[in-house]
Amino acid sequence: MDLELKLQDALQEVTTGGPTREKRSPGEWIPRPPEKFELKGHRDTVTRVVFHPTFDLIASASEDATIKIWDYDSGEHERTLKGHTAPVQDIAFDHTGKWLVSCSADMSVRLWDFQTYHCVKTMHGHDHNVSSVTFTPSGDHIISGSRDKTIKIWEVSTAFCIKTLIGHREWVRMVRVYQDGTLIASSSVDHNIRIWSLPSGECKGELRGHDNVVECIAWAPDSAGSNISEPIPNGGIE
């Protein structure tokens, strides 16, 4: 009977794309110690960890100005990527896992070939710390956010900045692209979130309500729509 219930829950999660509403024992889903591995090697604060989309690898960024690659199945350190001259603030893989992008307090964005581990392009244009970076779903463009209050759109093939988005009044802390590639969300020290259109760069709206820095943002998947019971009030968008 318990096996049947678990199977039903699993099937429902596959269908809805998320956990079911039924109450479940925390022991079923909360990770418990001891940890499988403790990965050591960075000499300063680790700022970001991301999974490779296909291989059993993770990449970590650090304030020691390096990026490290780890095999999370074996716990082994695979490679250290060096090139930035100041803390690495954010990293992201494209959907194929062939490319890794990084941004740093050295005001640059770097593109790494994940097959050779070589930096193939360095993008300059921001005037301050670059705090966030991500790929568009197609992998053709990179989006970066900076303490210079701007968001830049870079063309991967040429490393050229094709558009600069201006609107935030303070440091842009994070940028994230909607799954269909048509919208960018950005969060800022100015307490607000902005929604931008791709590729036009037009600001579609500003979400207000936080009383302090908005550090992180994430797009909810389409499957989460049925679980959102209260819409955002119209007053939250200008």
CA gap 92, 165 in Å, rounded = 20
Q: What is the dihedral of CA 194, 227, 6, 12, to 10 degrees?
A: -90
Residue found by looking up tokens 């050591």 in the block: 40
Output the CA–CA distances (angstroms, integers) from residue 163 to 24, 153, 169, 191, in the order listed: 47, 5, 18, 24
Q: Is the pLDDT of residue 13 over 60?
A: no
Q: Is the pLDDT of residue 232 over 80?
A: no
Cβ atoms within 10 Å of 1's Cβ, excluding its own:
5
Residue 174 φ/ψ, nearest 5 degrees: -150, 145
By percentage, how much of the chain surpasses pLDDT 90? 76
Per-residue pLDDT at 2: 59
Q: Is the pLDDT of residue 35 over 50?
A: yes
Sorted by where each starts, the structural domains of the chain and their CATH numbers stand as 1-32 (no CATH), 40-221 (2.130.10.10)
Q: Is the pLDDT of residue 135 over 80?
A: yes
DSSP letter string over 58-119?
Answer: EEEEETTSEEEEEETTTTEEEEEEE--SS-EEEEEE-TTSSEEEEEETTSEEEEEETTTTEE
Q: Is the pLDDT of residue 104 over 80?
A: yes
Instruction: Work out the average pLDDT over 139-161.
Output: 98
Query: Per residue in 40-87, pLDDT tens?
Result: 999 999 999 999 999 999 999 999 999 999 999 999 999 999 999 999
Could you tell me the pTM of the whole model?
0.82
Q: Is the pLDDT of residue 19 over 80?
A: no
**DSSP bridge partners of 34:** none
Per-residue pLDDT at 199: 84
